[in-house]
Amino acid sequence: MNYPEDLKYAPNHEWVRRDGNTIRMGISDFAQDALGDVVYVELPEAGATATAGEAFSEVESTKSVSDVYAPASGTITAVNHALEDTPELVNSDPYGDGWFAEIEMSDPSELDALKDAAAYRTSTE
Protein backbone atom coordinates (compact mmCIF):
# COMPACT_ATOMS: atom_id res chain seq x y z
CA MET A 1 0.00 0.00 0.00
CA ASN A 2 1.07 3.55 -0.70
CA TYR A 3 0.76 6.18 2.08
CA PRO A 4 2.22 9.49 0.83
CA GLU A 5 3.79 11.42 3.70
CA ASP A 6 2.57 14.82 2.47
CA LEU A 7 -1.11 13.89 2.89
CA LYS A 8 -3.58 13.74 5.79
CA TYR A 9 -6.10 10.91 6.08
CA ALA A 10 -9.72 10.90 7.28
CA PRO A 11 -11.36 8.05 9.24
CA ASN A 12 -13.35 6.91 6.18
CA HIS A 13 -10.18 6.56 4.05
CA GLU A 14 -10.24 9.89 2.22
CA TRP A 15 -6.91 11.65 1.67
CA VAL A 16 -6.30 15.40 1.75
CA ARG A 17 -3.57 17.51 0.14
CA ARG A 18 -3.61 21.09 1.44
CA ASP A 19 -2.64 24.17 -0.57
CA GLY A 20 -3.31 27.25 1.55
CA ASN A 21 -7.03 27.39 2.35
CA THR A 22 -7.90 24.83 -0.36
CA ILE A 23 -7.69 21.05 -0.22
CA ARG A 24 -7.73 18.45 -2.96
CA MET A 25 -9.14 15.09 -1.88
CA GLY A 26 -9.79 11.57 -3.02
CA ILE A 27 -9.85 8.06 -1.57
CA SER A 28 -6.74 6.30 -0.36
CA ASP A 29 -4.86 3.45 -1.98
CA PHE A 30 -6.13 1.24 0.86
CA ALA A 31 -9.75 2.21 0.08
CA GLN A 32 -9.51 1.70 -3.68
CA ASP A 33 -7.86 -1.68 -3.11
CA ALA A 34 -10.65 -2.76 -0.75
CA LEU A 35 -13.31 -1.61 -3.23
CA GLY A 36 -11.88 -3.45 -6.21
CA ASP A 37 -12.39 -2.21 -9.76
CA VAL A 38 -14.12 1.18 -9.70
CA VAL A 39 -16.77 1.39 -12.43
CA TYR A 40 -18.60 4.63 -11.55
CA VAL A 41 -18.00 7.80 -9.51
CA GLU A 42 -20.78 10.18 -8.57
CA LEU A 43 -19.12 13.56 -8.15
CA PRO A 44 -20.41 16.46 -6.06
CA GLU A 45 -21.41 19.70 -7.78
CA ALA A 46 -18.91 22.55 -7.98
CA GLY A 47 -20.29 25.43 -5.91
CA ALA A 48 -22.05 23.10 -3.47
CA THR A 49 -21.32 23.16 0.23
CA ALA A 50 -19.43 20.28 1.82
CA THR A 51 -19.77 19.46 5.52
CA ALA A 52 -16.95 17.61 7.27
CA GLY A 53 -17.89 14.00 7.96
CA GLU A 54 -20.95 13.99 5.70
CA ALA A 55 -21.26 11.98 2.48
CA PHE A 56 -20.97 14.12 -0.64
CA SER A 57 -19.98 11.62 -3.32
CA GLU A 58 -20.29 7.93 -4.13
CA VAL A 59 -18.05 5.26 -5.62
CA GLU A 60 -19.38 2.13 -7.27
CA SER A 61 -17.11 -0.84 -7.80
CA THR A 62 -17.55 -4.40 -8.96
CA LYS A 63 -17.86 -5.34 -5.25
CA SER A 64 -19.99 -2.59 -3.68
CA VAL A 65 -21.19 1.01 -3.53
CA SER A 66 -19.53 3.27 -0.97
CA ASP A 67 -20.09 6.82 0.18
CA VAL A 68 -17.24 9.31 0.07
CA TYR A 69 -17.18 11.76 2.97
CA ALA A 70 -16.05 15.38 2.99
CA PRO A 71 -12.85 15.63 5.04
CA ALA A 72 -13.47 19.34 5.72
CA SER A 73 -16.31 21.84 5.49
CA GLY A 74 -16.41 24.50 2.80
CA THR A 75 -17.31 25.23 -0.80
CA ILE A 76 -16.53 22.73 -3.54
CA THR A 77 -14.51 24.74 -6.03
CA ALA A 78 -13.60 22.00 -8.54
CA VAL A 79 -14.41 18.39 -9.37
CA ASN A 80 -12.45 15.90 -11.44
CA HIS A 81 -14.68 15.40 -14.48
CA ALA A 82 -12.15 12.92 -15.91
CA LEU A 83 -13.62 10.36 -13.49
CA GLU A 84 -16.95 10.48 -15.33
CA ASP A 85 -15.41 8.81 -18.39
CA THR A 86 -12.52 6.96 -16.73
CA PRO A 87 -13.50 6.03 -13.15
CA GLU A 88 -10.69 3.47 -13.13
CA LEU A 89 -8.28 6.38 -12.47
CA VAL A 90 -9.31 5.95 -8.83
CA ASN A 91 -7.64 2.51 -8.95
CA SER A 92 -4.64 3.31 -11.13
CA ASP A 93 -3.67 6.71 -9.61
CA PRO A 94 -5.61 7.38 -6.39
CA TYR A 95 -3.33 10.24 -5.26
CA GLY A 96 -2.91 11.84 -8.66
CA ASP A 97 -5.35 11.72 -11.58
CA GLY A 98 -7.91 9.88 -9.42
CA TRP A 99 -8.69 12.87 -7.18
CA PHE A 100 -12.38 13.72 -6.56
CA ALA A 101 -12.81 17.36 -5.56
CA GLU A 102 -11.24 20.57 -4.33
CA ILE A 103 -12.76 22.35 -1.35
CA GLU A 104 -12.15 25.88 -0.14
CA MET A 105 -12.25 25.31 3.60
CA SER A 106 -14.44 27.37 5.91
CA ASP A 107 -12.61 26.05 9.00
CA PRO A 108 -9.06 24.81 8.30
CA SER A 109 -8.72 23.67 11.93
CA GLU A 110 -10.93 20.67 11.00
CA LEU A 111 -7.82 19.15 9.39
CA ASP A 112 -6.25 18.85 12.86
CA ALA A 113 -8.50 15.82 13.46
CA LEU A 114 -7.06 13.92 10.47
CA LYS A 115 -4.23 11.38 10.69
CA ASP A 116 -0.75 11.72 9.30
CA ALA A 117 0.61 8.96 7.04
CA ALA A 118 2.21 6.95 9.88
CA ALA A 119 -0.96 6.93 12.00
CA TYR A 120 -3.14 6.07 9.00
CA ARG A 121 -0.81 3.23 7.96
CA THR A 122 -1.00 1.81 11.49
CA SER A 123 -4.81 1.99 11.47
CA THR A 124 -5.05 -0.01 8.24
CA GLU A 125 -2.62 -2.80 9.15
pLDDT in tens, 66-123: 999 999 999 999 999 999 999 999 999 999 999 999 999 999 999 999 999 999 999 9
Assess if residue 68 is contained within a domain.
yes
Where in the sequence is the domain holding 82, given as residue range(s)? 8-108
Residue 98 lies in a domain: yes
Closest among 66, 78, 83 to 103, alpha carbons compared: 78
| 40-53 confidence digits (pLDDT tens) | 999 999 999 999 99
Task: Please state the domain count of the chain.
Answer: 1
**Does 120 fall in a domain?**
no
Question: Is 1 a residue whose pLDDT tops 90?
Answer: no
Q: Is residue 113 part of a domain?
A: no
Burial class (CB in 10 A: 0-12, 13-18, 19+), 68: buried
> Residue 91's domain is classified under what CATH number?
2.40.50.100
**Residue 55 above 90 pLDDT?**
yes
DSSP-assigned letters across all residues of 25-79: EEE-HHHHHHH-SEEEEEPPPTT-EE-TTSEEEEEEESS-EEEEE-SS-EEEEEE
